[in-house]
Amino acid sequence: MKKLSKTARKRRSFTPEFKAEAVRIARTPGKTISQVARELDLTETALRAWVKQAEVDERPDAQGPLTTEERAELTRLRRELRTVEQERDFLKKTAAYFARNQS
């Protein structure tokens, strides 16, 4: 089996404050995303995604990608829908059970 030249990075999570500060630094004139990513020990891909998401959040477009707030609401609504569907299915099964046992 071949060894990878780079060691696999452990998945890290970052606070919204850290991401906002990294985006602010990346937008500094004269700085490139590559430089900022190296300075903050981030991957360029992650930093580019944060910068792109910040642009979306600053200028929401009804036809464009979801803002962070919209994405959070969508997640919440999907979770709520799943709960309501489970409750509905339970009530259907319960009604069917009692309808069978009525006779």
5 in a structural domain: no
Range of the domain at 38: 13-62
What is the spatial distance between Cα 33 and Cα 55, in angstroms, rounded to a whole number?
15
7 in a structural domain: no
Q: What confidence score (pLDDT) does residue 42 get?
A: 95
Q: In this structure, are 45 and 71 located in the same domain?
A: no
Q: In this structure, are 47 and 75 located in the same domain?
A: no
Q: What confidence score (pLDDT) does residue 6 get?
A: 65
In this prediction, residue 28 has a pLDDT band, given cuts at 50, 70 and 90, of very high
17 in a structural domain: yes
**Cβ contacts of 56 within 8 Å, gap of 6 or more:** 64, 65, 66, 67, 68
pLDDT digits over 37-65, tens only? Answer: 999 999 999 999 999 999 988 887 778 88
Q: What is the pTM of this model?
A: 0.62
What is the spatial distance between Cα 44 and Cα 22, in angstroms, rounded to a whole number?
11
- Percent over 90 (pLDDT), the chain: 73
Q: In this structure, are 18 and 37 located in the same domain?
A: yes
* Count: domains in the chain: 2
Residue 10 confidence (pLDDT) above 90: no
Other residues' Cβ atoms within 10 Å of the Cβ of residue 66: 15
Q: In this structure, are 70 and 46 located in the same domain?
A: no
Q: In this structure, are 48 and 76 located in the same domain?
A: no
Mean pLDDT, residues 78-90 taken together: 97
76 in a structural domain: yes
